[in-house]
Amino acid sequence: MNFEQLEYIVYVASEKSISKAAEKLFISTSAISQSISQLERELNITIFNRSRIGTTPTPEGNIVITKAINILSNIRQLNEELCNLNIKKEKQLKIIAATAF
């Protein structure tokens, strides 16, 4: 499982379509589909029911999607906090004075 796969399932769930999610992510539908299939094999569950009408999460898929949303949110918060720390570090002024001889 990787962050990319988590992002894909969240987009597919929100769009209810692999092709619409692929358009938003600027990748091919087959790339998303293969990535999700790989995650399903790894977890030994079916995350989405796929049909011509659309893509809907299974009960197990809803659990995974909810956790994925939380994980991705935590990662974004972590990145923001680290970015803010770096900005604060850059704003610090350090003055060093040499002793007179």
d(CA 63, CA 45): 11
Task: Look at residue 89 and tell me whether its pLDDT is greater than 70.
Answer: no
Contact 11, 21 (CB under 8 A): yes
What is the reported pLDDT for 47? 97
d(CA 34, CA 30): 6
What is the reported pLDDT for 100? 64
d(CA 11, CA 19): 10
Tokens encoding 81: 């906090």
Do β-strands 55-57 and 48-50 pair in parallel, antiparallel, or remain unpaired? antiparallel
What mean pLDDT value characterizes the chain?
Answer: 90
pLDDT confidence tier of residue 53, bands split at 50, 70 and 90: confident
- Does pTM surpass 0.75? yes
Could you report the per-residue pLDDT of 22-47, keeping only the tens digit for each? 999 999 999 999 999 999 999 999 99
First to last CA, the chain: 62
Task: Look at residue 57 and tell me whether its pLDDT is greater than 90.
Answer: yes
